């Protein structure tokens, strides 16, 4: 009986913690000197991905948010949902495509999940650098209580950190993360 009560209490705490971490909207403070525009992140055209993952996991939006959050210290402003044809000269433009997603239904019970992206950083029409990156996750601690979108979200958060780090000193043909 005590074990059941303990289990329910721990599960309740986890659910509350997960919900509050997913819904926290932190104000991002930008402290750099340049402007970055993150072009709309899309799935690659021929990507075979479950429609539920495409619709429910919001991977492009999450990746945009994480890049903004982690790269804020390098830019005075990071713009999203912006028409790139109207940005002023000298603005850096980051273009990213999600090229592969492994996200079988069943959360951690159906195996590891992964997200692969490719990206290019441009300034005044010139390529400053490009990369490919992949992150793989089994869900981490308490994975058995996480769903597919949650685990893919971990991958996207790690990719956001990787891209932000690369933005400090972009290079050509960079290979980031779990490749």
Query: The tokens 């990719």 sit on which residue?
Result: 159
Average pLDDT over residues 59-88: 94
pLDDT of 11 over the 60 cut:
no
pLDDT of 14 reads 42
pLDDT of 3 reads 55
80 and 173 Cβ atoms separated by less than 8 Å: no
156 and 100 Cβ atoms separated by less than 8 Å: no
pLDDT of 2 reads 52
Identify the H or E element spanning 68.
helix 59-71
Q: Does domain 25-177 have CATH number 3.40.50?
A: yes
pLDDT of 139 over the 60 cut:
no
**Distance (Å, whole) CA 16 – CA 31:** 32
Q: What are phi and psi of 136, to 5 degrees?
A: -125, 140
pLDDT digits (tens, 9 = 90+) for 88-134: 899 999 999 999 998 766 554 455 689 999 999 999 999 999 999 99
Query: The tokens 């971990």 sit on which residue?
Result: 154
The residue extents of the domains of the chain are 25-177
């Amino acid at each position: 009986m005590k074990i059941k009560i303990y289990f329910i209490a721990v599960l309740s705490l986890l659910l509350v913690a997960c919900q509050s971490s997913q819904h926290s909207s932190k104000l991002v403070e930008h402290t750099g000197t340049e402007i970055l525009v993150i072009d709309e992140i899309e799935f690659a055209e021929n990507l075979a991905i479950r429609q539920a993952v495409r619709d429910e996991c919001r991977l492009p939006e999450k990746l945009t948010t994480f890049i903004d959050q982690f790269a804020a210290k390098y830019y005075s402003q990071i713009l999203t949902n912006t028409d790139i044809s109207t940005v002023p000269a000298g603005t850096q433009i980051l273009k990213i495509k999600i090229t592969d997603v492994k996200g079988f239904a069943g959360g951690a019970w159906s195996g590891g999940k992964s997200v692969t992206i490719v990206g290019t950083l441009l300034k005044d029409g010139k390529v400053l650098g490009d990369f490919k990156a992949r992150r793989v996750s089994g869900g981490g601690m308490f994975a058995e209580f996480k769903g597919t979108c949650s685990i893919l979200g971990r991958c996207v958060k790690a990719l956001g950190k990787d891209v932000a780090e690369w933005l400090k000193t972009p290079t050509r043909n960079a290979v980031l993360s779990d490749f």
